[in-house]
A and B are shown apart, each in its own frame.
Chain A
Amino acid sequence: MSRVNIDSLTKEYDSAGGSIVAVDGLDLTIDDGEFVVFVGPSGCGKSTTLRCVGGLETVTEGSIRFGDEDVTDQKPKERDIAMVFQNYALYPHMTARENMAFGLKMSTELSSEEIDERVQATAEMLSIEELLEDKPKALSGGQQQRVALGRAIVRDPEVFLMDEPLSNLDAKLRAQMRTELQQLQSELDVTTVYVTHDQTEAMTMGDRIVVLDDGQLQQVGTPLECYHRPANQFVAGFLGSPPMNFLRVEADLEQQELQNAVFTLPLSESVATEIDSSELVLGIRPEHIELTDTPETHGEPSRLVEADVTVTEPMGDVTNVYLDIGGESVTVTTDGKTGASPGDQLYMHVPAAKMHLFDRETGEAIKHSDEPIDAADSPTATESTSPAETA
């Protein structure tokens, strides 16, 4: 176990038209025993970063340290890491047992009895003792996954690296493995770097998540921090399903309101003082919008916006209602009993406290929702790397 320090890591690839920057000056410290999830769209540099940490890619600039040891130029075998690959990368010609024993055989001086013991213990932990004599070909995807995991765990490494390990599994198995992996990680207490493009995995598994886009760090924080206090519009739009709604608005600071061709929303004074640009994007999560068909009786009529229902998506527990506001689409998640149907005209309530505002040009967050982001339910206590203040 050790702390991982990534210091202004840059990775460039040569290509025909010059070089491609895959990772651009990434700084990150991962605490001992922490479970950190790298998340972002394809090509955001998350896998490249992981591979740099694993020593599978050379680093163009910057350094990587495990504890006090600089491992930047070390070969993978010198780093005491274990990795789980997306398609498992089990050795096809070896049995599950041989697959698991291989790393110990290569990197330790253990006797074959000791190796056998450790493989057996790990197999029991993962309940794959029955599969030990089978070759990968004879195993199902989920079983291969477990063997791959076992191959990593048996090494008892300083750092676990996992490159989208669940993405080849079917949905049900993925959900099951998700919780199992979390349990395992907290039991083993090994520093873990986990790469995924799946925001559900990111939200549910990590102690902290690292959101990357285009090779650059967007935000580091606990899942709820990133969800409720997104540093910028990218993070806000990337996390959450259905994603956050974005509406282009202009701020009229004299009138203290947000305007757009279709609606006007009042702006509180405290927020207005934060704003230094009039070109803004209003963000609001689907679950934070309320729908009403009786605007007359609503307690805050000034914050109601008229909208037409275009599509409804009943999911059972909730229903996603898609609305049209002057040509822009807005998604609202309501409870499953909603009576809305396409063609209806409704009013949506945009609560000031739940509203996010972003600078349209830079994408930087100006105002956040006031949702609590830690277990203690206090909205402000957690330290966030987000540059924006909470409103």
Chain B
Amino acid sequence: MPHTTKQFRERLADVQLGDALPFYSRLSEEQRFAYKLLAPALAMMCLIHLLPIVWGTLISFMGVDSSYVQEWYRAPFVGVENYSYVLDPRTVVGGRFWFAIRQTVIFAVGSLVVTYVLGLTAALILNQKFTGRFVARTLLLLPWVAPVVVTLLIWRMMFQQQSGIINHVLLSIGLINEPIYWLIGDNTIWTLVLTHSWTQFPLVMIMLYAGLQGIPDQLYEAASIDGAGRWEKFRYITFPQLKPVSAVVVLLVMLWTMINFTAPFVLLGAQPPQAGQVGILYIYEFAFSNYQFGRGAAMSVVLFLIAMTMAMIYYKYLFDDDFAEGDR
């Protein structure tokens, strides 16, 4: 066993990666060492993320169905047939898939708006000086720290049409006249948005809060002197200064929501009402209850591409608009 860092470095230097990785020979000694240290983590990433992506993409071009569950590699290559099947809006599956994509976008954008507004409001409140600020911060983080399944189950109970507390409260303060169906029918997408936002907003809050703390006081003082009021200070100082962190938050929340499985599954179950059937849930139901793995994989790839495209458009817009301008 090597005992010192030096020995460790020497031992690592013996590891020959140059043959396997062509770019490796162009790296400096320092970078090579870094890659060796990164290797175990990278290997895990490949196993967990890269491999399924490649595998899934591969399957999406093959006719994997119930007869090939045991030996998927024996399934015939079918070209883009899976894609044309699931993307054709005239078929039942295609129609439902496109509807699910639409619901996914509503889910992502809706959650994004609610999460950002909630998170920003909470961050702005936390950024004020008041007694009990630290207690408040801990409490506000709870929805994110608590196990998400537990949180979702509690929300499901609260959203029950007959026994749920939400309808009870809304009825008793007179906002509604009869109980609302939250978990079935067209409302489910909004129930999803609200619940998912509840579990996600503390992350946004803490990131924006960190961003707020980084804004120099002097900018606000200069703005006071310049005659800006509270709203103007927010509009012209706080908001622009939060731009870099907001950009990251928006992208993360949007992508995470598009591929979120837990919230719709726990809240609405494997056979959700159609309005609540977001893409990922539909893919799961379609692929696993019908043993249609090839077509399911094709849907996954489509969802993946949509998410990636949105992310790329977003980033392009962001960089064109000078990403660094909020920097200090």
Contact = CB atoms under 8 A, between A and B. Distances in A.
A91 B225 contact: no
Contacts of A81: 225
Given A89-B216, A93-B325, A77 B227 contact: yes
A299 to B, nearest CB: 59
A55 B325 CA distance: 30
Contacts of A90: 222
Contact of B225 (A82, A92, A135, A137): A82
A237 interface: no
B237 to A, nearest CB: 7
Interface stretch (B12-20, B137-145, B228-236, B289-297): B228-236
Given A91-B237, A92-B241, A55 B224 contact: yes
B222 A85 contact: yes
B52 interface: no
Contact of A89 (B218, B228, B240): B218
B178 interface: no
A91 B224 contact: no
Interface string A71-113: 0000111000111010101111110000000110011000000
B169 interface: no
A379 B225 CA distance: 42
B232 A106 contact: yes
Interface in B186-231: 216, 218-219, 221-229
Contacts of B185: none
B36 interface: no
Contacts of A94: 236, 240
B243 interface: yes
Interface in B220-263: 221-229, 232, 236-237, 240-241, 243
A56 interface: yes
B243 A93 contact: yes
Interface string A151-163: 1000100000100
Contact of A83 (B222, B229, B236, B325): B222
A54 interface: yes
B193 to A, nearest CB: 31
A95 to B, nearest CB: 10
Contacts of A103: 225-227
B326 interface: yes
Contacts of A135: 325
B300 to A, nearest CB: 40
A137 B325 CA distance: 9
11 contacts: A83-B222, A87-B218, A89-B219, A90-B222, A91-B222, A91-B236, A102-B236, A103-B227, A137-B324, A137-B327, A155-B226
A212 B224 CA distance: 27
B226 A107 contact: yes
A106 B327 contact: no
B328 interface: yes
A373 to B, nearest CB: 36
A75 B224 contact: yes
Interface centre among A106, A137, A155 (most CB of B within 10 A): A106
A89 B241 contact: no
Interface size bracket, A side:
20 to 34
A238 B135 CA distance: 48
Contacts of B223: 91, 102, 106
Contacts of B228: 77, 102, 106
Interface size bracket, B side:
20 to 34
Nearest to A98: B236
Nearest to B229: A77
Interface string A244-259: 0000000000000000
B227 A93 contact: no
Contacts of B219: 89, 91-92
Contacts of A56: 221, 224-225
Interface of B: 216, 218-219, 221-229, 232, 236-237, 240-241, 243, 324-328
Contacts of A91: 219, 222-223, 236-237, 240
Contacts of B216: 89
Contacts of B236: 91, 94, 102
A161 B224 CA distance: 13
A186 B181 CA distance: 75
Contacts of A92: 219, 241, 325-328
A107 B221 CA distance: 15
Nearest to A155: B226
Contact of B221 (A82, A85, A151): A85
Contacts of B324: 137
Given A87-B218, A102-B236, A93 B226 contact: no
Interface centre among B224, B240, B241 (most CB of A within 10 A): B224
A142 B223 CA distance: 21
Interface string A97-133: 0000011001100000000000000000000000000
A85 B226 CA distance: 13
B212 to A, nearest CB: 15
Contacts of A55: 224-225
B119 to A, nearest CB: 21
B240 A93 contact: yes
A147 B325 CA distance: 18
Nearest to B240: A93
The 5 closest A-B pairs by CB, nearest first: A107-B227, A103-B226, A106-B227, A89-B218, A77-B227
Nearest to A75: B224
Nearest to B218: A89
A91 B237 CA distance: 7
Nearest to A87: B218
Contacts of B327: 92, 137
A81 B232 CA distance: 18
Contacts of B229: 77
A83 B222 CA distance: 7
A56 B223 CA distance: 11
Contacts of A87: 218
Contacts of B221: 56, 76, 83, 85, 89
B39 to A, nearest CB: 38
B226 A102 contact: yes
B325 to A, nearest CB: 5
